Amino acid sequence: QTISQPFIVALMTDLLETQPDHTVLEVGTGSGYQAAVLSSLVRQLYSIEVVEALAASAAERLGRLGYDNIEVRAGDGAKGWPEHAPYDGIIVTAAARAVPPALVEQLKTGGRLVIPVGGPGGQDLRVLEKQPDGSVKSRSVLSVMFVPLTGGEQKR
């Protein structure tokens, strides 16, 4: 529950197609490693972790190491972080059974959502891009295995 394979961290970061002026939401802070990687590529990063102890330790660690453009909180990542929306990009580091609607709603037009989708037997890493009409264009990148996204609707 703390870090994805470095190859997957790099791939998901690349798929997000970040720019220096972007604001990004990360769902699943874990140790804070993915947040640290992304923080050097974007203006502001918000990260949500469902396990309160992990959120607290990641926030402390990232602060101690001088990452001043990352804000971490404990909460249900499937609901996003609407107070700071819309986002240029959203990255999810846990597998959702289905794409959480709140995350799509919180994407800017042209924004990208990188998320593993599927059940415990395996998932597809998907890239979704929000279109001008509000619809989403989705493509599958590769098969992956992630821990499940455990917030709210995902438990049903």
SS3 109: strand
Tokens coding 134: 């509000």
Catalytic choice (4, 39, 47, 57): 4
> Does residue 144 come out as left (phi exceeding 0), alpha (psi in the -120 to 50 range) or beta?
beta
4 is catalytic: yes
129: amino acid identity, one letter: E
Spatial separation of the C-alpha atoms in residues 19 and 7, rounded to whole Å: 20
- 120 upstream amide cis, omega within 30 of 0: no
Other CB atoms within a 10 A radius of the CB of residue 82 amount to 11
Catalytic residues: 4
